[in-house]
Amino acid sequence: MIPGKYRSVSGRAANNVNCGLHLVIQTSSLPEKSKVRFKQVEFKLNKETPSFPGRLLQHDLERNYSSRQGDHINLASSSMPSFPILQRSSEEKILYSDRLTLERQKLTVCPIIDGEEHLRLLNFQHNFITRIQNISNLQRLIFLDLYDNQIEEISGLSTLRSLRVLLLGKNRIKKISNLENLKSLDVLDLHGNQITRIENVSHLCDLRVLNLARNLLSHVDNLNGLDSLTELNLRHNQITFVRDVDNLPSLQRLFLSFNNISTFESVCCLADSSSLSDITFDGNPIAQESWYKHTILQNMMQLRQLDMKRVTEEERRMASVVAKKEEEKKRESHKQSLLKEKKRLTINNVARKWDLQQHRTPNIATNQDTKVSDSPSQDPSQLHGSAVVSAFPEETGSLDSGLTSALQGLSVTDTHLVEVDGDTLSLYGSGALESLDRNWSVQTAGMVTTVSFTFIEFDEIVQVLPKLKMKFPNSLHLKFKETNLVMLQQFNALAQLRRVDQLTIDPQGNPVVNFTLWKYYVLFRLSHFSMQKINGTEVTQNDMIMAERLFGILAHVASSELPQYRLISILGDARKKQFRYLLETKGKKPGLVNEENNDSKRLVGENTNRATLNYTTRDFYNERLEEIKEKKKFCKMYMEDLVKEATDINMKNEALQKLWPQMFIELVRDAVIEIRNKNSYMKLCLQQITDQK
């Protein structure tokens, strides 16, 4: 880098200064164009005190320059009394005709340089110059170094048409301006200033190096027109975004270290630059990101060095792989969020329907077309092997294909939602209950331990409980929300399940939770499950004792006080029903866990004394009552007949009772009258006998 080298050179050209008026220029070699050599030159000034202005001048001089003895100051009065005039001896002029070094001369102003019109290199480093002046006549100047001064404004350069290198680093320049005529400028160094914007450089079509490090730039643009620019140094600024770099056809090196770039989008124009091969971003927030390296590499395939380190093939490959994965992940999460949104909409829809149902007459049958499908949820941590369900679980047995099959066309109905997420099966809306009929893969079904019902009438859930028992044998935790649980009795229906460890009844939509005794009743009726938790709180021994105390009598009454035939009929009823269900008719009333049932052999522990407490849904109950009506009518008629018969007989009996005494007397009287005359009676009898023959 030219400016840097140059800096160091000037650093070395330190202190062979005698008496402040001796300028010493050291030899150095400058690469490339202006190879100007410097030699030691002594420059003497006469000490003769001139006229008053001169004296003043000398005073100035003596004040400003640490003057020592024996100097010859040759001061000529000039029209501009404040500027010193520099003259060199003719030997020096001949020796170093094209270069002049005035560094560390404690100059506060540019002196008038007389008779040096062919000067090509001028060095004012390390002074206190505030304005560029008095160099307009040096029209052959190619190299001008004003590094480390106090210049506040670029000016006075309009005649230097041949200028190729302009070094204005470490000054106080606030604005890039007045460079219009410097069309040959090759290197422009403005580092260490207070420049806030890049401007007025579009005409510098020969400019190859532009150094704007350590300024106050907050963004980069206005770079068009710099067709030759190969190196752009923007280190140590406050840059947040970069634009127009793709308009620089020759730019090879771009240094953006120690700025404020945090996203790739803010420098995205770099991706379009085909010439860039070297770039630095260290010291920016973006370099701390995990995706930094591969994003840069992926987007800037032409890069050869990043942050001063060569980019290897390996890195490039890694970058593309990672980028692809990122892309995949983004697509995945996008899909996820779409699915989530669909789910949310569905649930909202189901909720709305549910509300309507609750506030008007329940009319479950809707005529919405149900494209039967569900939206499965993808577990993002699919790599960890959690269960993934796609639309057709029987087709995809493996987990890996879950991703791809999920991309098949799924349609989410807006009437219900079924979702399997690892160990939880969630059902929203009554239509979701039909999904229990599907062929669930054994793996998926086996993993489900929690089943959650929302926006479904409990009475409907009761009817599918046998199916649930069969298809999801490991479901241990049941959750109910907005399921219209209103009676304690309804819990009886849960007794038919194999086992329930945890029960969560959400107060929302389940008025039963408002009862004081509901938990105890659940514990009582489902005591054979030995439940661990109800609504998140552990079940304690005290709870169980209390439940027994409260409802134990009910159990006792329900078992021992029921007449035998009732017991048999209730239990037998259930048995019949279960059998019928297994024969694949509609599984109607929820039966009981019958002790004779194979299933419940395991549950020998169940208190059979509460087995008679079961739950029939309101509809079925009414249905049954309807069925009985016929029988009742018949019975009534039958009984009436019997009663009629009985009363008839009774009446006849009573009539007989009343009449009998009279009849008896008559019988006796008739008999006595008959027998009164023995002879005639004998004759009568004989007559009767012969008549009979």
Partner 1 sequence: MLSPERLALPDYEYLAQRHVLTYMEDAVCQLLENKEDISQYGIARFFTEYFNSVCQGTHILFREFSFIQATPHNRASFLRAFWRCFRTVGKNGDLLTMREYHCLLQLLCPDFPLELTQKAARIVLMDDAMDCLMSFSDFLFAFQIQFYYSEFLESVAAIYQDLLAGKNPNTVIVPTSSSGQHRQRPTLGEASMLEGVEASLFYQCLENLCDRHKYSCPPPALVKEVLSNVQRLTFYGFLVALSKHHGINQALGALPDKGDLMHDPAMDEELERL
Judged by the rule CB under 8 A, the positions of this chain that interact with partner 1 are 487-489, 511-512, 514-517, 546, 549-554, 556-558, 560-566, 568-570, 572, 612-613, 616, 618, 621-622, 625, 628, 631-632, 634-636, 638-639, 642-643, 646-647, 650-651
Helix (H) or strand (E) holding 505: strand 502-505
Closer CB to partner 1, 651 or 659, in the complex: 651
Closer CB to partner 1, 76 or 651, in the complex: 651
Q: Cα separation of 434 and 60, whole Å?
A: 104
Burial of 314 (0-12, 13-18, 19+ CB in 10 A): exposed
Closer CB to partner 1, 536 or 563, in the complex: 563
Q: How far is the CB of 646 from partner 1 (least distance, A)?
A: 8
Closer CB to partner 1, 474 or 647, in the complex: 647
Closer CB to partner 1, 351 or 567, in the complex: 567
Q: How far is the CB of 602 from partner 1 (least distance, A)?
A: 24
Closer CB to partner 1, 501 or 543, in the complex: 543
Contacts for 225 with CB less than 8 Å, ≥ 6 apart? 201, 202, 203, 204, 205
- Alpha helices by DSSP H, 206-312: 292-299
Closer CB to partner 1, 364 or 635, in the complex: 635
Q: How far is the CB of 549 from partner 1 (least distance, A)?
A: 6
Nearest of 459, 461, 449, 305 to residue 386 by alpha carbon: 449
Q: Cα separation of 480 and 452, whole Å?
A: 6
**Dihedral sign of CA atoms 642, 647, 650, 656 in order:** negative
Q: How far is the CB of 386 from partner 1 (least distance, A)?
A: 41
**Long-range pairs for 386-392 at CB < 8 Å and ≥24 separation?**
386/422, 387/420, 387/422, 387/423, 387/443, 387/444, 387/447, 389/420, 389/444
Contacts for 612 with CB less than 8 Å, ≥ 6 apart? 558, 559, 562, 567, 570, 571, 592
User: In 110-249, where do the E strands start and end?
Assistant: 112-113, 121-123, 143-145, 165-167, 187-189, 209-211, 219-220, 231-233, 241-242
Q: How far is the CB of 558 from partner 1 (least distance, A)?
A: 7
Q: How far is the CB of 647 from partner 1 (least distance, A)?
A: 4
Q: How far is the CB of 460 from partner 1 (least distance, A)?
A: 18
Closer CB to partner 1, 563 or 661, in the complex: 563
Q: How far is the CB of 528 from partner 1 (least distance, A)?
A: 17
HEC per residue, 482-493: CCCCCCHHHHHH
Q: How far is the CB of 477 from partner 1 (least distance, A)?
A: 25
Q: How far is the CB of 684 from partner 1 (least distance, A)?
A: 42
Angle between helices 541-560 and 518-525 (to 10 degrees): 60
Q: How far is the CB of 617 from partner 1 (least distance, A)?
A: 10
Residues 382, 399 contacting (CB under 8 angstroms): yes
Closer CB to partner 1, 30 or 570, in the complex: 570
Closer CB to partner 1, 399 or 546, in the complex: 546
Burial of 433 (0-12, 13-18, 19+ CB in 10 A): buried
Contacts for 183 with CB less than 8 Å, ≥ 6 apart? 161, 203, 204, 205, 206
Closer CB to partner 1, 542 or 688, in the complex: 542
Written as six digits, the tokens of 677 are: 């005359």
Query: With left for phi above 0 and alpha for psi between -120 and 50, is residue 655 left, alpha or beta?
Result: alpha
Q: How far is the CB of 659 from partner 1 (least distance, A)?
A: 16
The SS3 call for residue 130 is coil
Written as six digits, the tokens of 22 are: 């001796």
Closer CB to partner 1, 516 or 688, in the complex: 516
The SS3 call for residue 628 is helix
Closer CB to partner 1, 48 or 641, in the complex: 641
Radius of gyration of the chain (CA): 55
Q: Cα separation of 265 and 20, whole Å?
A: 54
Closer CB to partner 1, 531 or 570, in the complex: 570
Q: How far is the CB of 556 from partner 1 (least distance, A)?
A: 6
Q: Cα separation of 226 and 253, whole Å?
A: 14
Closer CB to partner 1, 566 or 669, in the complex: 566
Burial of 460 (0-12, 13-18, 19+ CB in 10 A): middle
Q: Cα separation of 668 and 398, whole Å?
A: 107
Closer CB to partner 1, 161 or 549, in the complex: 549
Q: How far is the CB of 587 from partner 1 (least distance, A)?
A: 20
Closer CB to partner 1, 283 or 552, in the complex: 552
Residues 478, 500 contacting (CB under 8 angstroms): yes
Q: How far is the CB of 621 from partner 1 (least distance, A)?
A: 6
Helix (H) or strand (E) holding 323: helix 313-359
Nearest of 210, 192, 191, 215 to residue 200 by alpha carbon: 210
Query: With left for phi above 0 and alpha for psi between -120 and 50, is residue 190 left, alpha or beta?
Result: alpha
- The string of DSSP letters for 525-563 reads HTGGG---EETTEEPPHHHHHHHHHHHHHHHHHHHHSS-
Beta bridge partners of 461: none
Backbone angles phi, psi at 282, to 5 degrees: -65, 150
Residues 517, 546 contacting (CB under 8 angstroms): no
Q: How far is the CB of 569 from partner 1 (least distance, A)?
A: 4
Q: How far is the CB of 365 from partner 1 (least distance, A)?
A: 24
